[in-house]
Chains A and B, each alone.
Chain A
């Protein structure tokens, strides 16, 4: 695995019916802007981007209401073939909150368009003008070793400054590109020292661009940085330049468009404001509720380093004014322990403005975070390693950004920062102070649970569940689960591998449960040990489950299977127990929810329950059950 930014890997691939959905966009229908934005929020091929851009053009032309997208008219003045960029830009802009109309001026008419009072550029009254220029257009493509390098660079800077001033006079924002350096070296490493090499001249030019921007109220489009990210050997494409005058490789067009669109979004105030962090396996390795303070990975070791990088990135973002929040399925007290006690945690509670650790769905918690901070949901970015959580949030709140993440946490910062959610066209002292002004006291926000259609979501996961009795092959994993599961564990009884082995093939009922869904395989996620205490009674000695699969009705599925197997063995009654510990409060009403009856006359921490199998009716469950032995 590696990180290829040209594929925009933080976005989902486009759905199969993408073209049909673009064609179906009809002027005048409700919520058009949001539909366009969610269609744009995929990694699009040039043809797909073109299809969506054409649809956006059609809708703008029909004066459709595309809010919440902000309108923007961009003119491109091309020094090379920018048609493919012009075709891809509206789709990319919609991704970043902008309804973009693009006008592409004729090739090679840059000065004429800016200076001629009757040019189509002047008549079209654009909001912004992008200069499609590079080292070739500026005359910095050939070394100048005769001592005139300085003058050549200054001439290039002046030429761009004059254009920028002309554009600013039109009332438009100049978008000024930095110039990527071709990899071909004349001397080799010495190119950096020798005045007049292409590298030295381009670097000098780029270093002068910020002051031109400041003077003309322009914005920089750091094309040189895009080229660096892609790699200059991939960026420059001499074949395509010679044949078609493409300014750079066509593979880089989607990334170029996305980067330009971020700047347009930032100019329209669409950049996001708050990074919401999941905790387990996002900010540290492991599950705090199960692995405990000593078991989670942060700081030491390669995996711990990866998570430390995620935290460092979050802190840097906070420093530049991005608000940090936490949204985690956890016990509040458990989730705060690493922040308070782990020596290698870089994030502290005082860095977090809103701290949501509970078992309610993430969409409701994100709503609570936005409401508390008094910002829009479209200002949030959720960083979460769990694909199913991301899918649920995207379905419920499409305006919240949820970058896709790879399996290896070492790449999390590259994915999040690569996606450019927090693009900015300025950095002020208010930005520096912002995170403080949002009293970062890790407060808890009240969640207003809404009835989301849970059943639809669960069936969309296409879950497959499998049951089998304990066996030798899985013995080690069973013992591991028995000995480390703390939260969803009714009795917290620990057994050695030998004790587990003794249960295999005996008179007691054992169940190991596996779950997978369309996003992946969770492996073994639940266990039951039910002892035959009388001929017709099974007593549930152990019932545990991984918290990763909470809220998916797995416990109901496990009960249905247990009841079937107990009936087959001739039983008429189940007995269950809840033995309260410091960590298993989340299952205090487990048996109540499943329809068991409480036994009376018991003193905490122990509570027992019973269930008559005659009266038990299973509910409809969102799984397909895999054939079991």
Chain B
């Protein structure tokens, strides 16, 4: 597998993971806070704001910090929901957690843009991953319900980290060394 292919794979997996995280947080709020459309608005708006801020963050160390944030924030959200069920006064804290998760959705493009000759190709692979992630999340929730919500963010994190490590293994500098 070439480095280009691993970059495409990484973009794809990030997209998949982000879709899963978005669905997981939305459905967690639906289950333990409210199914009102305001929940949907908060999730989507917070996500848009997070991604919009994230894209201004520079490439580099931010990326790895944000991978950690995106891997943690959905569990904080679920933990808070478990502790304070149906407490709509906490919606702003949930909104912040969603926005923090979505920072990666924007910053990721800064991180990866130099690896792709065309920016459209980066968007293409990330969006393909997002599409597949929606399918996985939709069917996963059907089949495993809350169990999926608890397991999927961590499983996605492991896959994303694995793709980062695979790319490092195959990077030209490493091969030369």
Q: Do these two chains really belong together in a complex?
A: no
Chain B residues near A (Cβ < 8 Å):
none
Chain A residues near B (Cβ < 8 Å):
none
